[in-house]
Structure 1
C-alpha cells in the first residue's frame, strides 16, 4: 500500500497521503473485525502486529506507534496469555471507537475518544498553579465552562501544547478525526513530548470530572 520504490511518485494516480489515509482506515476496520466476536487469539494478534509493521510504522504516528509497541510487548515472549488478550481487546475496541456494550460502529451515535494516548496509570490531578489544556468535545459542556472550573480551583489554562503544561484533558466525545488516526495536533504533540520525557499527563474528561466532583 506504500510506494516503497517511488515508481509511481510522478503519476497523477498516485497520492501517498491518500494511501496512508487508506491504510489507517484499514487498521480501524481490522480492529473492529478482530474484536467483533469479543475474543482475540494468538494468530489474530500476530497478524495485526505484522500488518502494522508492514503498512503503518513508516507514518511515525505517535498513537499508532503506541498501539504497535503495546502489541509487540505482549507478543515478545511468543505467547499471548489470557490477561494480555483481554487487555488487547480493550485497546483495539478503544482504538476503533467501540465498547463491550456497543461492539459495532453502527451501534454508536458518536465516536468516543480513543483511550490509547491516555496516561496509565491515571495520575492524581493537582489544581493549584498547574497548567491545563482541553481538546476535543467535552461532555460536561462548553470548553469555557470547563476552563472556569479549573481556574476556580487555582489552576491555569495554557494557550497551547508545550513543555510547560501539566495536563491535557481529552473530551469524552470524539469526532471523525479519531476514525482516521489524525488525532489533532494537540494530542500528537503531547504524546511526542511525553515520549521525550516531559512530565505532562494526558487524561480523559471522565478522570477530570471524577477529580472535580468525586
Structure 2
C-alpha cells in the first residue's frame, strides 16, 4: 500500500469515527423524549444516506437496514418503531463499545444454557439482534414450529439480542428480562437464553 493510500485510509477511518460520534449525539437527541416519531425517523434516514463513513460500524449497518425496512412500505408500525428505538439505544449507551457485543456473563442467562426445542415452544424476543429484526427472528423460529409473541408465564424461551448493554436493567427491554428472572426464580419453567445460543438451533 502506498503512503497516499495509507493516508486516505486513515482519513476515511477518522471521518467514519467522527460521523459515528455525531450520529450518537443525534440519536440521543431523538430519543430524549422517549418517543420516535415518523419525521425523526425520516430525518435520521436522510442523515445516514448523506454520511456513508458511519456505515462501517456494524450496529450502524443494522440501524440502516432497519430504517430501510421500516420505510419501504411508507408505513412505520409499532414493532418497527420499537426495533429502531432499541437499536438506537444500544448505539447510544455510554458503556457500549462500538461494534462489539455484550459478554453474555453480564446477563441473567440460564447456566448451563438449555437445549432449545423449537417445535411447540413459545418464544419471546427482546433487545436488538444481529440476525435481523425481531420479526425476522420470529419468522425463523416460527418456520421451525415455534409460536412467538409477548412475554407471558407460558413463554418457554426468552431470547435476548446480542446488542444489549451493560446497563440493560435500565433499558427499554430491562423490565421484560427482570420479569422473566422473577418468574424463573419462582419455579415457572422459562429459559432465558442469548441470541448466539438460539442461533445454534435454527
| TM-score, length of structure 1 as denominator length | 0.45
Higher helix share: 2
TM-score by length of 2: 0.47
